[in-house]
Amino acid sequence: MRQMPVIDLPSVARELAESGKRVKVLWQEPDSLAFVARGREYRSEFHINASDEFTYMIKGTMNLHYRDESGKEGILVIPEGSTNFMPGNVPHSPRFPPDAFALIVERGRREGEVDRFQWFCPKCDSLLHEERAVVDDYKKDFVTRAYANFFDNEQHRTCKNCGNVMPKP
């Protein structure tokens, strides 16, 4: 019989807080992925993936930045104890402090799907840089890797439109 986990979310949040880790994968199946994320105070990129996502705020409040069809940025506030459904392919940037925790449930990536991570100039809103990754195993923490590739390269952080350099966090 397949595993059918029962997970104590407050305990997972405590474990992340005590360990300093940012993500704990709860399960990862071809059609279902669930993880608890601890906020990253420096999050600034927009993530784009083909899967619909369900978010439940275990503790704290999330400001979910997103870009609509025209590219305009908006913010959706998700308070503690609340949920959100976000359709696939919506550029989104979940921003919440390190003492806040969210449960995220989405579909596992299908063969050939590529996740994108985009940064925009804080001065003129032009696209600064895009990282791409095949997210075949969520435990590899592709967000951290994308951040390192972006912030460790000043050319990636320099706007080709206005010359502004996005500072490192």
β-bridge partners, 118: 46, 130
Residue 39 clears pLDDT 90, i.e. is over it: yes
pLDDT of the residue at 169: 83
Class in CATH terms, 9-157? mainly beta
57-103 pLDDT, tens digit per residue, is: 999 999 999 999 999 999 999 999 999 999 999 999 999 999 999 99
Which of 33-47, 90-104, 130-144 is predicted least confidently? 130-144
**Across the chain, what does the average pLDDT equal?**
93
pLDDT of the residue at 5: 83
Instruction: Assess contact for 65 and 71: CB atoms under 8 A.
Output: no
pLDDT of the residue at 142: 78
- Residue 1 pLDDT grade (very low, low, confident, very high; cuts 50, 70, 90): low
Q: What residue segments make up the domains of the chain, in order of their start?
A: 9-157
